[in-house]
Chains A and B, each alone.
Chain A
Amino acid sequence: SQQGEEDPQALSIQEGENATMNCSYKTSINNLQWYRQNSGRGLVHLILIRSNEREKHSGRLRVTLDTSKKSSSLLITASRAADTASYFCATDSGANSKLTFGKGITLSVRP
């Protein structure tokens, strides 16, 4: 079962622009994570935000969490061609250390 649903499914932007990706989920969570996947590779953890946090930063990444709306957004500022990848949100509901992943957003950054 998939809890996280990312939006949009695909995003194409010019280098230097900001990229905003959204994730909505259905049930209560302990935390929400964002991962990145380069084509044909494994996923890499980017950032984790706990349910009692509203915003978190890491380098050019900014994540927000709105538990009342059951949604999160990932902002990548000043995008680079190397940011081209698929991005997944994953929710941790605290049940048996399982994460539930969304279907992912494909980001293309044009040089």
Chain B
Amino acid sequence: DGGITQSPKYLFRKEGQNVTLSCEQNLNHDAMYWYRQDPGQGLRLIYYSQIVNDFQKGDIAEGYSVSREKKESFPLTVTSAQKNPTAFYLCASSQGMAKNIQYFGAGTRLSVL
């Protein structure tokens, strides 16, 4: 079953806590992305990675961190510095720059307790 798997589907964060969202792909894609989706805001890019051990900040990176130690994995940590973390988080991957069609996971909904 090829694709992108995000876990967990729902996540709750307590005040001052860091939480990590998982994203795994078995499509052998080089590039991976994290987006945040708020109602009426569309998708906003948090971080992206074009290759293993390298990543770049997107438009709203503050309060988030990522790592890319393996090609298939791109976890996102929502740190306590992110004061408004409640949102729907989407992970995507693509072959890279050629056509850049992105394939998305099913998302993780993060809420604050």
* Interface residue ranges, A against B (CB under 8 Å): 1-2, 31, 33, 35, 40-45, 48, 88, 90, 92, 94, 96-104
**What A residues does B103 contact at CB under 8 A?**
45
* Interchain Cβ contacts within 8 Å, total number: 62
**With an 8 A cutoff between CB atoms, is B59 at the interface?**
yes
Bound Cα distance A33, B43 (Å): 14
Bound Cα distance A33, B103 (Å): 12
| Contact present for B43 and A88 (CB under 8 Å) | yes
B51 to chain A, nearest CB (A): 11
**What B residues does A98 contact at CB under 8 A?**
33, 45, 48, 58
Bound Cα distance A40, B105 (Å): 11
Task: Specify which of B44, B59, B101 is in contact with A33 (CB 8 Å cutoff).
Answer: B101
**What A residues does B109 contact at CB under 8 A?**
40
Q: Which residue of A lies closest to B41 (CB)?
A: A103
Bound Cα distance A88, B104 (Å): 13
| Contact present for B45 and A42 (CB under 8 Å) | no
* Interface residue ranges, B against A (CB under 8 Å): 4, 6, 31, 33, 35, 40-45, 48, 50, 56, 58-59, 88, 90, 92, 94, 96-97, 99-107, 109
| Contact present for A103 and B97 (CB under 8 Å) | no
CB-CB under 8 A for A42 and B50, given A88-B43, A94-B97, A103-B41: no
Q: Which residue of B lies closest to A94 (CB)?
A: B97
CB-CB under 8 A for A41 and B97, given A2-B42, A97-B31, A103-B41: no
**What B residues does A42 contact at CB under 8 A?**
4, 6, 90, 92, 104-107
**What A residues does B106 contact at CB under 8 A?**
41-42
**What A residues does B56 contact at CB under 8 A?**
96
CB-CB under 8 A for A103 and B107, given A33-B101, A97-B100: no
| Contact present for B100 and A88 (CB under 8 Å) | no
Bound Cα distance A6, B97 (Å): 24
